[in-house]
Amino acid sequence: MGSHPNSSSEHILITGAGGFIGQELSNTLFLSNPSMHLTLADVFEPPNPNASRATAVKADLTTQSAVDSLLSSQQWSACYLLHGIMSGGAEANLDLGLAVNIDSHRLTLDYLRKHQPGVVVVFPSSLAVYGPPDSPDQQYDEKTIPIPQSSYGAEKLIVETLVNDYSRRGLIDGRVVRLPTVIVRPGAPSAAVSSFASGIVREPLNGLQSTLPVSKDLTMWVCSPKTVVKNLVAIKDVPKEKFANNRGRVINLPGQTVTVRQILEALGEVGGGKALRLVEEKHDPDVEAIVASWPARFNISLAQGLGMAEDISLKEEVQSFAASLKS
């Protein structure tokens, strides 16, 4: 795999590019810079939205040879490490979660620090690194001690620590962004335990039945896909001097605190009673235990200070998703 002919242009790697966020991110990056070239990698060959400006690559990054082959193909302007096993999958299969969510990232980060020192690395982490709040109104920030209650959260925290340390040493220029639960995700349900939060909107608006496995009073920290992608693009260009030495490279991205009941209310406002009747309550204590262990209230002053955008309203997001179904 040779270098792109316009070597002076910005060249960005996205791993996990076949997922929804990866696809939305690639489209938004294209719009941000007409000379940008992307390499899109996943365990399957991901969709390529622009063959003249992107290269799609099938790569299993749990192997050293695949990491070497992919990363040696280009001098990277920035690398987005989006690949991983989702929360439900990582809880169900510990060994697979360790291999994908830790080992493959260690291989990738070690290659970059040795062969492309100083490269910008954006690592999307998760609010799952935290433990449950001491009180319902507790507000979390970047200095709240993480005590993950799932293997997925623990795996994310381990990679966060590596990105922070390699950045402290000047080996890479890392940015760790802890994502809220992203709703509404299109497509098929994912292996995330929070997948229901999108499902109870997505399926009914498509005329399909959906299952609600948690209490309507469960509180969550959520964000629209559009806002998450906008902030993933923006964080790449924040000068490294903006990250204070005593805070590391971790940022909690903006979101909003909602109850499951409020998500359903937004569904009803947009889709009416017909959509609401397609949501079946079927309690799953294991799912609720994991999601309830995630914080739902955040102080986002650090993210705001770095120029991160705040989220649109829940109703606006549901309206936006419904409109996308008609386009």
User: Phi-psi region for residue 136, left (φ > 0), alpha (ψ -120 to 50) or beta?
Assistant: alpha
Residue 223 tokens, joined: 């964000």
From 107, 129, 117, 230, select the one nearest 176 (Cα to Cα): 129
**What's the sign of the alpha-carbon dihedral 87, 256, 18, 71?**
negative
Q: Evaluate whether 123 touches 175 at the Cβ level (below 8 Å).
A: yes
Tokens at 84, concatenated: 């991983």
Catalytic residues, by residue number, are 152
Q: Say how many C-beta atoms besides its own lie within 10 A of residue 8's C-beta.
A: 6
Nearest to 205 by CA among 324, 311, 316: 324
Burial class (CB in 10 A: 0-12, 13-18, 19+), 183: buried
Which helix or strand (DSSP H or E) is residue 58 part of? strand 54-58
**In the structure encoding, which two tokens stand for residue 262, read together?**
């409020």
Angle between helix 151-168 and helix 104-115 axes, rounded to 10 deg: 10
CA atoms within 13 A on the CB side of 205: 27
CB 317 within 8 A of CB 262: no
Radius of gyration over every alpha carbon of the chain, rounded to an integer in angstroms: 19
- Give the C-alpha separation, 298 to 257, whole Å: 8
- Number of Cβ within 10 Å of residue 327's Cβ equals 4
Contact, 210 vs 199, CB < 8 A? yes
Cα gap 138→228, rounded to integer Å: 23
